Structure 1
């Protein structure tokens, strides 16, 4: 296994023996913890620094880090070299100086489980295995198929996933719809009631993490429902629960201009964070969360008048909410030791950025950190990393030079962030006094 100089020094010195420098002192001299002069273009929270690991990989989505520090990035579409990029640092400076590609597909989901790399396209979960310390998997040309036959759709197609500690795989299957109308996003088109999409979409399905040849219809268990689309899906090993951050619905003004102003539509509904449980229903499409009332209310397609809650009875509420249309695309619970102790257990969220907040400015395009204490959000979220967009004013997503999409924690506790525009990858680390507390 490859170690950075700081980890090796800590291991050999037992942390703090006479004649050994502290980890913080070592970090100040270690090229592995030397930031780019411009922080890779990012603006970071106090004490944090960053540098670019690699760039121009392709439209990067989620990523995963192997125990030896190698980084694997799922690309939205395969390029001429492949659909998954494999990155290795061979000289100990933290940057990728060896980059290889494999697979003939692209997708979103990516994670390590039981030593194997799992990756998804829009219909299938694959598994790659490794021999020794090889950068590329030994079955790169013919991965195992864990789950196939997931619904292929034109919207909310990404099949993100996570694993728990009991041998289960959880897969997001987004709803190919805004609010389950007969004609999607069409004014005066009636809602389907009950919504038939919930039979195979709009929730999280559970599978066996190791069994090959599974399908949704024969082997999938609908674990939680009423979730429009949860690209941000993650198991929290500190409390044993799976969490999701939902992409909320759109077009309240466009579909119901007599009920909502353009400004109100830009600020509603909130993006909701859920703690999943078996059988839980989180309300889509019948309800949405109105941040101005701090309450979930019945959707206008289902008879809602902005205040009624009749269709929301029995649904599970969010444990945290975030401003509308920020597009949460990944979730990571910080369990490492490189950040200050108060950050342990906090949730990092990559907000991909909005497209539909006009006439207000588009928002998101940053990585937030949500403090947790005793298993629950304990304070307002804070900004961990901003500046991805590279422009002050964003009128449309195409204005952004970069958009944060994937998050992963390296074995040393640093955090890796991916970009979906050009495939830029950053490492974020902490360098100042580690007694600083997360507020």
Structure 2
């Protein structure tokens, strides 16, 4: 007769052997998820591990995780089946999402789940899909929430996030580098009054449950933001935070004012805490992370030293230039150590224009927060996406972090829009 052995007697042995990683499964029971032997190629802080939850998904931009642990992935290029959204499911609890199915016939970036709806954006519209009790799409034909947003094929992605009061926030990036009369043309000066700001270069607020809204139905919630791909709602202080892509080509456009080296590291990539009516100052100013000042843009009479933008808000954090912050996530889970709670993870997609300096980015950083505000210095959390130091320096990265999402067990997911890898990062308790 076989003797029954309590599961609890095995747990200490497995934990010591490093085989059991804790997390809530789809039924909130203990499951075993084992990181890849090489941590999926990532360099992580001590105690963390990673695995490739999925691979070859497509040009994976932003991602959303359901309370059941399944994932929706927004693609920026239709896959071979003509789909722009992919649904992923882990059928056996090993952490690998083996089951995949696609729907939607449009490309885009935005993806967010709120109140049993999946919100997704194209480059001109925002849609929502009703989720059933298993958080799956009940009807593949979506409701159209917002339509008619501008797309001039530069900074065209429409990232989205929702608050707790029934509003959705949509980035409309500026179709320009610095609002010159002739965009990216050496010596061309800035357009007075920058008419681009009427319909782009900011964050628009719409109702999350109202159909077929256009600009006229929305509110220009914040302006003076060149382009925001990463944004999230901070639950601690009930406020919108965004990551702006800073302007390019200071030396290329004004070689008499900026050296090649200055152009490679300025201006900063900035995190802003946004309130209704805020102006971040683009295109009239940029932020110099070394001078810690708002500097008047050369297109509007600046010389790299003159300050400007007295009416513009200051950044909450200023990161090195040209690293392309594409994802922002406030961590609210319980898996990671307490110091990570309510802090911000930022996915830096990586630079293309830091020469003669090495290219940079291609990593996920962590910015500690306290009482809803940045507290202390940021740090690199997950590195190694590019494949090697040489690939980082050249900009020819194997993988580029883009989207971030938190699993129901508190693990962190990172999407890669180069080769379509989905990473899952866990902490061993």
* TM-score bucket of the superposed structures, by smaller chain: over 0.9
Uncovered stretches (5+) of structure 1, i.e. residues with no partner: 1-12, 433-439
Q: CA deviation at 1:134?
A: 6.6
Paired residue secondary structure (1:301):
helix
Q: Matches of residues 22-33 of structure 1 in structure 2 within 5 Å? A: 25=15, 28-30=19-21, 32-33=32-33
Check conservation: 1:28, 1:431, Cα contact below 8 A: no
Q: Name 1:348's counterpart in structure 2.
A: 345
Q: Across the two proteins, how many residue pairs are aligned to each other? A: 410
Deviation per residue, 1:226-254 (Å, 9 max, x gap): 00001011101121000001000000000
Q: Name 1:421's counterpart in structure 2.
A: 418
TM-score for both structures, normalised by structure 2? 0.92
Check conservation: 2:351, 2:359, Cα contact below 8 A: yes
Paired residue secondary structure (2:389):
coil
Q: Name 1:400's counterpart in structure 2.
A: 397
Deviation per residue, 1:371-418 (Å, 9 max, x gap): 011221111111111010112223554x11100000000111101100
Q: Name 1:59's counterpart in structure 2.
A: 59
Uncovered stretches (5+) of structure 2, i.e. residues with no partner: 1-6, 22-30
RMSD of aligned residue pairs (Cα, Å): 1.8
Q: Name 2:253's counterpart in structure 1.
A: 255
Check conservation: 1:116, 1:129, Cα contact below 8 A: yes
Q: Name 1:10's counterpart in structure 2.
A: none
Q: Name 2:224's counterpart in structure 1.
A: 226
Check conservation: 1:150, 1:215, Cα contact below 8 A: yes
Q: Name 1:38's counterpart in structure 2.
A: 38
Counterparts of 1:285 and 1:420, CA distance in 2? 28
Pick aligned residue for 2:322 from 325, 328, 347: 325
* 2:106 is equivalent to residue 108 of structure 1: no
Counterparts of 1:127 and 1:264, CA distance in 2? 44
Paired residue secondary structure (1:43):
coil
Q: CA deviation at 1:117?
A: 0.6
Pick aligned residue for 1:272 from 270, 273, 277: 270
Check conservation: 1:167, 1:208, Cα contact below 8 A: yes
Deviation per residue, 1:138-170 (Å, 9 max, x gap): 221x21101011101211000001011111100
TM-score for both structures, normalised by structure 1? 0.90
Check conservation: 2:68, 2:135, Cα contact below 8 A: no
Q: Name 1:190's counterpart in structure 2.
A: 189
Deviation per residue, 1:26-78 (Å, 9 max, x gap): 98425643110011111111211100011001111000001111101000011
Q: Matches of residues 427-438 of structure 1 in structure 2 within 5 Å? A: 427-432=424-429
Deviation per residue, 1:298-342 (Å, 9 max, x gap): 111101122222x41111100111000000001000000000111
